[in-house]
Structures are given as structure tokens and as C-alpha cells.
Amino acid sequence: MTETLDIQITKTTHSRLQETDFDNLPFGKIFSDHMFVADYADGEWKNFQVIPYGEIGLSPAISALHYGQAFFEGIKAYKHADGKVVIFRPDKNAERFNKSAERLCMPTLPEDIFLQSLAAVVDIDRDWVPTQDNHALYIRPFMFATDPFLGVQPSATYKYMVLTCPVGPYFSKTLRVKIETNFTRAAEGGMGFAKAAGNYASSMLPGKTAVDEGFDQLIWTDARDHAYIEEMGAANAMFVLDGKLVTPSTQSTILKGVTRDTVIKLAQEWGVPVEERRVSVAEIVEGAKNGKLTDAFGAGTAATIAPVGSISYNGEEYFLIDPKEREFSQKVLKTLNDIKYGVIPDTHGWNFPVGE
């Protein structure tokens, strides 16, 4: 039985809602009025609060800043035409949240606290959930170590917080991607499967190098041979090759995406053959050359279904068919949107209603 969490709520006295331009929502820059905060100390979670969004005071010695004991999640809430607000598959994020926590030697958070914290911030700021096509309220839960101590050891205290941002799509155009064969995102035994802050820190130099070369995203490859596709910078990599949905299997180096899982489930229901396996760079390049690669996209919460327009490898750029002509990713994007925005029935139980 889930117990109702005792959350202390302090509402803002000055909402920024009226002064926010919902026609101009750069990703992750505009925050809604409130945020959720909880503390971990003495072996338990406590002080559950919703407070106005704003700065928090912290010691400059907290170990999150020095040793990166920090991780996050990314989830979206959608508004239906009748005003109902839903959060998409947050139970999957709760599960992954705790996998990240365990890998980083941080305390887990009971699923019901996670779900109730999301519901609390989304409900209080439900007027911040955008209604335009492909827009949503992005939910960013995160946890970080707060012991003011410079020794390298797991902290005894932590903060868990949830921020929300009204957003449009993360990528505004068809992606020009580069297969990375120099830098590595994650190796076996590392923390690639966790949504660790440090994974994103280590991706910044390779990501910036790619952007400087004119690319939008990287496709990471395996640490040992750089011969197998892993994932993209902020999304899982999915392909339609020879009529099959092909995607790298998620072992320890790849983030187990919720969107990826959703796309696989839909494909299976539609009778599209699905292969989760090692995917070689060679077969993707070959497919791009001989036309058997009929679709390629990034799948992620922020990214949604982000079409890949061209793939570059070893200085050669291979162009794929126009995204508008792609049967699979067009259908998957439409179906996903129709479920999330309540246009068609949610037969999978993926939408968690807020405030009912």
C-alpha cells in the first residue's frame, strides 16, 4: 500500500507564468514556479517540500561538486484537450533512478516517493504544461551528495530535487550525425547505463568537437574497437535495416531508454521484426550505401523521435531518405504523440494522471 507523502507546500507569491512566452521555449532555460526538495540524512529520506523555484545555499565543499556523486532523470508531462495532465511512464524512470543510485553508491528512493514528488510539482504547476504540438512539461528529478568533506568516499547526506520546464522539441532539425571513433562514452564495468552527471561531462569535449565540425550529434561506439554502435549523446540509436527495427542491446555501457522500450513495444505490436543485438558500424554504413537503411533516428524523452538525415564515418557522409518519406519513424512519432496527448486510448497504461 502506498502511503500519502507528507509534503510541506509553500506557494510562490509571484508567479512568472503570465510573463513567460510560451511561443518561445528554449529547452531547459525556463523553469516553472515551484520545485520539490527532500533531504537524506541518518539513513532516511525526510523534509519533503514543494517550494518556489530558486537558488539554494550549499557548502562549496559538497562532494557532488568535487567527485561527481550526482545523477538525474528526464520525464515529460503532457496536457490533453480536456485539461487532463499525464506523466508518461514515470515508473520506468523510478526504476532507472534507483539503478543509477546504486551504481553511484547513493541511497535509493522508494518508487512511491519518486512518483508522488513528480505528481506534486506537476500538479502545482499544471498551468505551466504547454499545449502546442510536440510541447510538454519536462521533469528533471536529480540527486546529489551534500557532505562537506573532501575525502573520496560516499557521502552520508544527499538532496533529491525535482525541477520542471515547459519545453518544445530538443532538436529542431533533422540530425547530421558523426560516428565517433576516437573518444569513448562508456566501457564495460563503467557507468554508461546510469544517468550519471559525469557521463555527460565526459561527452562535452567530443560533442563540442563534433558541433565545431558541423554535426548535431555523435553516435558513440564501443570502447574497445569502435566498431559497434552504442547510442547517441542524448538518445538511443534506432535503425530500420532490411525491414527490421534494429537497435543496440542495452548492456552496461548503454542507457536503457524509456522511449527506446516504448518504440520496441509498438513495433512488436505492429508485427515489425525487432532485433536488439550488437549493431556494427559496417552494416549501418553498408545499409546507408545500398539503400537498405530506410530509417534512422534518436529515441529519447527530450529528443522524442529525432530523425537522422545523414551519417558520417571516417570523413565520408552518407545521406538517408527524406524523413517525411520514412514509414516507421513517422508512424511511431504519430502514435506516441496520440497516446501522450490523449488522442487515442492509452491501452498500455503508460499515462499516469496527475491530480485526480
Of residues 63, 203, 301, 312, which one binds ligand COI by CB under 6 A?
Answer: 301
Question: What residue 231 binds from ligand PLP, ligand COI, none (CB within 5 to 8 A, per partner kind)?
Answer: ligand PLP
Site for ligand PLP in 167-196 (CB under 6 A): none
Question: What residue 236 binds from ligand COI, ligand PLP, none (CB within 5 to 8 A, per partner kind)?
Answer: ligand PLP
Closest distance of CB 116 from ligand PLP, Å: 20
Closest distance of CB 78 from ligand COI, Å: 14
Nearer to ligand PLP, 79 or 140 (CB): 140
Of residues 90, 168, 207, 257, which one binds ligand PLP by CB under 6 A?
Answer: 257
C-alpha cell at 112: 512511491
Distances from the Cα of 135 to the Cαs of 53, 76, 131, 232, 300, in angstroms?
A: 21, 9, 6, 22, 14
Of residues 301, 304, 329, 351, which one binds ligand PLP by CB under 6 A?
Answer: 301
Closest distance of CB 200 from ligand PLP, Å: 7
Q: Is 162 in the site for ligand COI (CB under 6 A)?
A: no
What are the b/e assignments for 302-338, b being 16+ CB within 10 Å? Answer: bbbbbbbbbbbbeeeebebeebeebebbeebbebbbe
Q: Is 308 in the site for ligand COI (CB under 6 A)?
A: no
Burial of 116 (0-12, 13-18, 19+ CB in 10 A): middle
Q: Is 207 in the site for ligand PLP (CB under 6 A)?
A: no
Q: Is 100 in the site for ligand PLP (CB under 6 A)?
A: no
Q: What is the 3-state secondary structure (H, E, C) of the chain?
A: CCCCCCCEECCCCCCCCCCCCCCCCCCCCCCCCEEEEEEEECCEEEEEEEEECCCCCCCCCEHHHHHCCEEECCEEEEECCCCCEEEECHHHHHHHHHHHHHHCCCCCCCHHHHHHHHHHHHHHCHHHCCCCCCCEEEEEEEEEECCECCCCCCCCCEEEEEEEEEECCCCCCCEEEEECCCCCCCCCCCCCCCCEHHHHHHHHHHHHHHHHCCCCEEEEECCCCCCEEEEECCEEEEEEECCEEEEECCCCCCCCCHHHHHHHHHHHHCCCCEEEECCEHHHHHHHHHHCCEEEEEEEECCCEEEEEEEEEECCEEEECCCHHHCHHHHHHHHHHHHHHCCCCCCCCCCEEEECC
Q: Is 234 in the site for ligand COI (CB under 6 A)?
A: yes
Question: What residue 69 binds from ligand PLP, ligand COI, none (CB within 5 to 8 A, per partner kind)?
Answer: none
Q: Is 329 in the site for ligand PLP (CB under 6 A)?
A: no
Size of the site for ligand PLP (CB under 6 A): 13
Part of the chain binding ligand PLP (CB under 6 A), chosen from 4-12, 56-64, 147-155, 298-306: 298-306
Of residues 45, 69, 74, 253, which one binds ligand PLP by CB under 6 A?
Answer: 74
Nearer to ligand COI, 294 or 351 (CB): 351
Nearer to ligand COI, 281 or 303 (CB): 303
Phi, psi of 265 (to 5 degrees): -60, -45
Of residues 121, 255, 281, 306, which one binds ligand PLP by CB under 6 A?
Answer: 255
Q: Is 300 in the site for ligand COI (CB under 6 A)?
A: yes
Question: What residue 125 binds from ligand PLP, ligand COI, none (CB within 5 to 8 A, per partner kind)?
Answer: none
Nearer to ligand COI, 241 or 302 (CB): 302
Closest distance of CB 121 from ligand PLP, Å: 18
Name the site residues for ligand PLP (rule: CB under 6 A). Answer: 74, 231, 234-236, 255, 257-260, 299-301
Name the site residues for ligand COI (rule: CB under 6 A). Answer: 74, 170, 234, 300-303
